[in-house]
Structure 1
Amino acid sequence: MTSSALPLSGWTVSLDLWGTLITGGDRQAAADWRLTEFRRVLDAYGHHPSPEKLSTIVRRTREKVAHQQRTTGAQPDVEAQVGAVLDELGIDRDEPDLLKLLLAVHTHAVLRACPQPIPGAVAALDAIKAAGGRLVLTSNSLATPPDVHRLLLSDLGLLDRFDDVLFSGDLGVAKPRPEVFTAGAARAGMPLDRIVHVGDDPLTDVDGALGAGCHAVHYNPRRKAARPHVPDYADHAELPALLVSLHGAAAAEPISRSASND
């Protein structure tokens, strides 16, 4: 079979990372390690905030930037996140190498969570590729910068499966902003209506993709209420066939792009 005859030839399949392709892992283990190492560094500099105070400030800072990113598409600066923690503790962020050391802890804590591919995800990627689809990873990054994400993906055997990788930390904007998806289209050399984005978040993945002019598929393993007219699936084994059927439907009649507030 020639490449032009493959069912997904000429299409880009964009996929979210966290919660779509890989699990969050043991988030508590990552949070505990971050706090333990933060305290170790601060103790070495003569600062001794209580564990409860430090935990509260770190958690509050993370929740604030995560909310801003998810609702506005603003990409938070990782160094600013650590700096905000020091500011709230009343510690001079310009103490020699202090910010640098805390930044290394903050950005690598996710590796302690040991995230793993969601069952069926790797097989689905391989099947999409075999069907002629161009695979792109489109992921927001928060405390974990793109270089650490790439290390994680490489360790999980996922990085080389993608034709392109887009992280919000590289782009300077985050999903659900349309610029994320238009950047992916420009790099693929494809129009937006030849891109299908797959993700688990109704706001950042589904509404974001539809708002940019892409198609959207909702990974919905718990079968929660989904956006009207947006295809969803619960098991990654279903995804390749679903994409092929959507490709056929789009060839006959464009997939409906409902408004994000339908």
Structure 2
Amino acid sequence: MIPQTFAYRKAHTIDEALALLREHGDEAKVLAGGHSLIPLMKLRLSTPELLVDIGGIRELTEIRERDGRLELGALVTHRTIEFSELLRQKCPVLPEAAAQIGDPQVRNKGTIGGSLAHADPAADYPAVVLALDAEIEATGPDGRRTIPARDFFQGLFTTALRPGELLTRVRVPVMPPRSGAAYLKFPNPASRYAVVGVAAFVKLAPDDTCAEVRIGITGAAAAAFRATEAEKRLVGKTIDERTLAASLEDMVDPDDLLSDLAASAEYRAHLCHVLARRALRQAFERARG
């Protein structure tokens, strides 16, 4: 449990961090909260020659509202999200999800940017940012670009980030009127990672039918994903038990899901159905106010 020898540099600005990444290439790894990278290094599953510590970049620790969106710096911790009054008022599903991550020690140090960039298939935030239709800002040698959350998670620990890029900010819409969202998960009792986690977003039309529905799922497959077919079936309908049963039937194919010591693919498919039904009911009730 001892890492390979490595060098350490602390960056105080985004430009400084990018310069170090450009200079050292694949030999460098970015250190944010460290709750994903350090265990991998101790097991020597990751053996960087240089750690670029971005924890001192203060501009990435802010949460602010701008142009109808909430902007979270990559270094905002889970605990900060959990207790943010701005987020509780404008997008309460984010604090709801943050409160379910790990334990207090993890929430005090772990960051939203580190979690999303690591793209653990059982992490909580990916389902939520998918359901919220969030945007992820990446900053690299060619400047800044925006990646829709639906395009960000590409496979096991694989994202749309390019070599030399930093995930710098996450932007989520302020919850519009007559909308609601919820996040529920079946946690692994040891790690608190999601065996399956489901986030649901619902926006209602004046007649209480669904104008918009988004369902994000984590833990079930090699990468978080949207249940797009189920979403389409629910648009234009009122959420009740009969509608949910029909719309969520066969929402996932067990052949596409993970099977391991925590759960079989078939059980994960069952959890997807159960948690989606509960999360959608909760989101619907919140949208109705």
Q: TM-score band (shorter)?
A: under 0.3
Greater RCO, 1 or 2 (C-alpha within 8 Å, sep 6+): 1
- The structure in which a higher percent of residues are helix is 1
- The structure in which a higher percent of residues are strand is 2
TM-score, normalised with respect to structure 1: 0.25
TM-score, normalised with respect to structure 2: 0.24
